[in-house]
C-alpha cells in the first residue's frame, strides 16, 4: 500500500510539466484520486476476506457442534471424565458432566435417596432445563446406564443418542431384575469392597463402597496408576436399591425408551462388567450399534480416552486432497482389519495432501501397527478429476490399508 503510493506520486511528478494544460492536470489528478480510492476499497476488501477466511479455517471441519452429557458410574463423579472432556471440546462440542445425587461433590448423602429416581434427579433436571429444541448425546458409564435408561423413558425428546459405555442396559425386553440376577450369577470376588446392611443382615445391602484393591484389580487394572490414586481419594459410597424398588422405577417401553437410538461400547478387558456379560446384554436388548475398545479396562475414559473419543465419531482421522465441492463434507473410509470390517469418518479439506498413519484403533501394547502408511494425496492426484467432482458421491471405499507382505 505504502510502496504503491510512493510510485503513484513519482509518476504524477514525471507526467506533469509547465507545458501541460490545466485541464489535463485536473483530469490526471482526478484519475489518481479515483485510483487511490479504488486501492483503499480493495485493501479493505482483502482485509475483510482475510478475517472471514481465518474464521472459516478455525472452525472444526467435522459435524456441527453437539452437546454431550457424560454420566458417571457407581462411586464416581463428574471428575472421572477429565481426560475425555478436553478432547470433545477440542472438536468444537459442548460438554456437560454431572454429579448424580450423593456422588462427586453433590452435597446429598445416601440416606437422602429413597429411590433410584432420587439418585438420577440431577440428570433429569439438567435435560428439563434445556431449550425446547435442544437434544443431547447421553454417554453413561457402568451404573450410569440405569440413569440413561430412565431418562430415555421419561424425556426421549431431549436425547438424540444414548451411548452405553460398558454400562447396565435394561430395556423393554430385558427387565432390571433379570439383568441383576445374571450379573450376580457371574459376579467374581468383590475383594475389599464393603457392603452396609442398613435394614439388617437378613435383608439386601443398602450401600456399597469400592475399596482400593477392588478398584486396582477390577476397574483400573490397565489405567495409569495416577488415575487409580485419584479414584481412591474421591470414591464415595453408592446407594443400593432392591430389585423390587428398581423394577418399580425402571419401567421401559418400546414407544419411549425404544424411540431413542442406542449405541453400546464394549470394553474388551473389563473385569467388573466382563465382556461376556456385556455381550449377553447386547443379545437380550439389541442396540442400534455396537462398538468395541480393545485393550480397555472398565474405566475406558481413563485407560483409552483417545479411542473412546474416536469411537464417539469425533476424531477426523484423515484429511485428503479435494475440490471446493467437498468443503467440510463428511465421507467414510472402509478399513479391513484382520478381525473385522469397520468404517471411520474423515473430512475433506481443499488442496491438502496428508500422509495417513496407521489408525489408533489398530495399535496397542499387544497389537502393534499392521497397516502401511499411505499418501492419499498421491492417490487422488492420479485420478481423473471427474471421479470425485460428482456431488452424488457419498461414500468412498479404498482398500489401501494393507497388511505388509
Asked whether residue 244 falls in the same domain as residue 279, the answer is: yes
Asked whether residue 47 falls in the same domain as residue 157, the answer is: no
**pLDDT confidence of residue 290:** 87
Encode pLDDT of 81-109 as tens digits. Answer: 999 999 889 878 899 999 999 999 999 99
Asked whether residue 147 falls in the same domain as residue 260, the answer is: yes
Kindly report the backbone phi and psi dihedral angles of residue 212, in degrees, each rounded to the nearest multiple of 5, phi listed first: -55, -40
| Confidence band of 43 (pLDDT split at 50, 70, 90) | low
**pLDDT confidence of residue 38:** 59
CA nearest to 381, candidates 356, 401, 345, 352: 352
Question: In CATH, what number is assigned to the domain containing residue 248?
Answer: 3.40.50.1820
**pLDDT confidence of residue 11:** 37
Please give the residue range of the domain that contains residue 360. 324-389
Domain boundary among 35, 56, 77: 56
Domain boundary among 11, 31, 56: 56
CB 76 within 8 A of CB 231: yes
Length of the chain: 405
Q: Is residue 107 part of a domain?
A: yes
Q: Which of 91, 93, 141, 142 is catalytic?
A: 142
Q: Which residue is it, cell 487409580?
A: 228
Q: Which residue is it, cell 427387565?
A: 175
**pLDDT confidence of residue 277:** 97
Annotation says 298 is catalytic:
yes
Percent of the chain exceeding pLDDT 90 equals 56
Domain boundary among 311, 342, 362: 311
Q: DSSP states of 46-106 as a string? A: HHHHHHHHHHHHHS-SSSPP-EEEEE--TT--GGGGTTHHHHHHHTT-EEEEEPPTTSTT-
CA nearest to 139, candidates 69, 188, 192: 69
User: What mean pLDDT do residues 370-393 have?
Assistant: 39
User: What mean pLDDT do residues 256-282 have?
Assistant: 96
Asked whether residue 166 falls in the same domain as residue 199, the answer is: yes
* Angle, in degrees to the nearest 10, between helices 176-186 and 275-284: 160
CA nearest to 356, candidates 382, 327, 377, 386: 377
Q: Comparing 6-15, 120-129, 158-167, which segment has the lowest mean pLDDT? A: 6-15
- 395: exposed, middle or buried (Cβ count in 10 Å: 0-12, 13-18, 19+): exposed
Tell me which long-range contacts 300-304 makes (C-beta under 8 A, separation of at least 24). Answer: 300/141, 300/165, 300/166, 300/265, 300/267, 301/80, 301/81, 301/83, 301/84, 301/141, 301/165, 302/80, 302/83, 302/220, 302/223, 302/224, 302/227, 303/220, 303/222, 303/223, 303/224
Asked whether residue 42 falls in the same domain as residue 76, the answer is: no
Q: Which of 298, 300, 322, 331 is catalytic?
A: 298
Q: Is residue 404 part of a domain?
A: no
Mean pLDDT for all residues in the chain: 75
Question: For the chain, what is the domain count?
Answer: 3
Does the reported pTM lie above 0.85? no
Asked whether residue 156 falls in the same domain as residue 197, the answer is: yes
Q: In the chain, count of helices (H) and strands (E)?
A: 14, 13
Asked whether residue 284 falls in the same domain as residue 222, the answer is: yes
| Confidence band of 307 (pLDDT split at 50, 70, 90) | confident
Q: DSSP states of 220-232 as a string? A: STTS-HHHHHHHH
Could you count the other beta carbons within 10 Å of the beta carbon of residue 74?
23
Distance CA 254, CA 172 (A): 6
Asked whether residue 101 falls in the same domain as residue 222, the answer is: yes
Asked whether residue 111 falls in the same domain as residue 259, the answer is: yes
Q: Comparing 17-26, 207-216, 257-266, which segment has the lowest mean pLDDT? A: 17-26
Q: Identify any residues that bridge with 289 across adjacent strands, giving them in sequence order.
A: 263
Annotation says 142 is catalytic:
yes
User: What mean pLDDT do residues 113-122 have?
Assistant: 98
Q: Is residue 113 part of a domain?
A: yes
Give me the helices (H) in 263-341, please. Answer: 275-284, 300-303, 305-311
Q: Is residue 400 part of a domain?
A: no
Q: Is residue 369 part of a domain?
A: yes
**pLDDT confidence of residue 124:** 98
Q: Is residue 100 part of a domain?
A: yes
All three cell numbers of 15: 507526467
Q: Which of 62, 270, 297, 331 is catalytic?
A: 270
Asked whether residue 52 falls in the same domain as residue 75, the answer is: no
**pLDDT above 90: residue 111:** yes
Asked whether residue 78 falls in the same domain as residue 216, the answer is: yes
- 375: exposed, middle or buried (Cβ count in 10 Å: 0-12, 13-18, 19+): middle
Q: Is residue 153 part of a domain?
A: yes
Q: Is residue 396 part of a domain?
A: no
Asked whether residue 132 falls in the same domain as residue 181, the answer is: yes
Encode pLDDT of 170-182 as tens digits. Answer: 999 999 999 999 9
Q: In what order do the strands lie in the sheet with 94-98?
A: 94-98, 67-71, 136-141, 159-165, 261-267, 289-293
Amino acid at each position: 500500500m505504502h510502496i504503491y503510493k510512493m510510485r503513484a506520486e513519482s509518476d504524477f511528478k514525471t507526467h506533469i510539466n509547465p507545458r501541460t494544460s490545466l485541464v489535463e492536470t485536473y483530469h490526471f489528478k482526478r484519475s489518481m484520486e479515483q485510483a487511490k480510492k479504488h486501492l483503499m476499497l480493495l485493501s479493505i476488501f482483502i482485509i475483510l476476506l482475510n478475517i472471514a477466511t481465518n474464521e472459516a479455517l478455525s472452525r472444526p471441519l467435522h459435524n456441527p457442534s453437539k452437546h454431550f452429557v457424560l454420566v458417571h458410574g457407581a462411586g464416581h463423579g463428574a471428575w472421572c471424565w477429565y481426560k475425555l472432556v478436553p478432547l470433545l471440546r477440542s472438536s468444537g462440542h459442548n460438554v456437560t458432566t454431572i454429579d448424580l445425587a450423593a456422588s462427586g461433590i453433590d452435597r446429598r448423602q445416601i440416606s437422602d435417596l429413597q429411590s433410584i429416581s432420587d439418585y438420577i434427579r440431577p440428570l433429569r433436571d439438567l435435560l428439563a432445563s434445556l431449550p425446547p429444541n435442544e437434544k443431547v448425546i447421553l454417554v453413561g458409564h457402568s451404573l450410569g446406564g440405569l440413569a440413561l435408561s430412565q431418562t430415555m423413558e421419561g424425556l426421549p425428546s431431549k436425547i438424540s443418542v444414548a451411548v452405553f459405555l460398558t454400562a447396565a442396559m435394561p430395556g423393554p425386553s430385558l427387565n432390571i431384575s433379570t439383568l441383576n440376577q445374571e450379573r450376580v450369577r457371574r459376579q467374581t470376588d468383590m475383594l475389599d469392597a464393603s457392603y452396609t446392611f442398613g435394614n439388617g443382615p437378613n435383608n439386601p445391602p443398602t450401600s456399597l463402597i469400592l475399596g482400593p484393591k477392588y478398584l486396582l484389580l477390577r476397574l483400573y487394572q490397565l489405567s495409569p496408576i495416577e488415575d487409580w490414586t485419584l479414584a481412591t481419594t474421591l470414591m464415595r459410597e453408592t446407594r443400593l436399591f432392591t430389585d423390587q424398588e428398581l423394577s418399580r422405577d425402571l419401567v421401559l417401553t418400546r414407544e419411549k425408551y425404544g424411540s431413542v437410538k442406542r449405541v453400546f461400547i464394549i470394553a474388551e478387558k473389563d473385569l467388573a462388567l466382563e465382556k461376556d456379560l456385556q455381550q449377553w446384554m447386547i443379545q437380550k436388548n439389541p442396540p442400534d450399534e455396537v462398538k468395541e475398545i480393545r485393550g480397555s479396562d472398565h474405566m475406558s475414559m481413563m485407560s483409552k480416552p483417545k479411542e473412546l473419543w474416536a469411537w464417539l465419531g469425533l476424531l477426523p482421522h484423515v484429511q485428503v486432497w479435494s475440490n471446493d465441492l467437498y468443503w467440510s463434507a463428511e465421507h467414510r473410509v472402509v478399513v479391513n482389519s484382520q478381525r473385522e470390517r469397520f468404517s471411520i469418518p474423515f473430512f475433506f479439506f481443499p488442496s491438502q495432501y496428508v500422509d495417513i498413519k496407521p489408525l489408533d484403533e489398530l495399535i496397542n501394547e499387544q497389537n502393534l501397527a499392521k497397516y502401511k502408511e499411505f499418501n492419499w494425496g498421491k492417490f487422488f492426484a492420479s485420478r481423473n478429476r471427474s471421479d470425485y467432482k460428482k456431488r452424488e458421491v457419498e461414500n468412498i471405499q479404498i482398500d489401501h490399508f494393507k497388511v505388509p507382505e
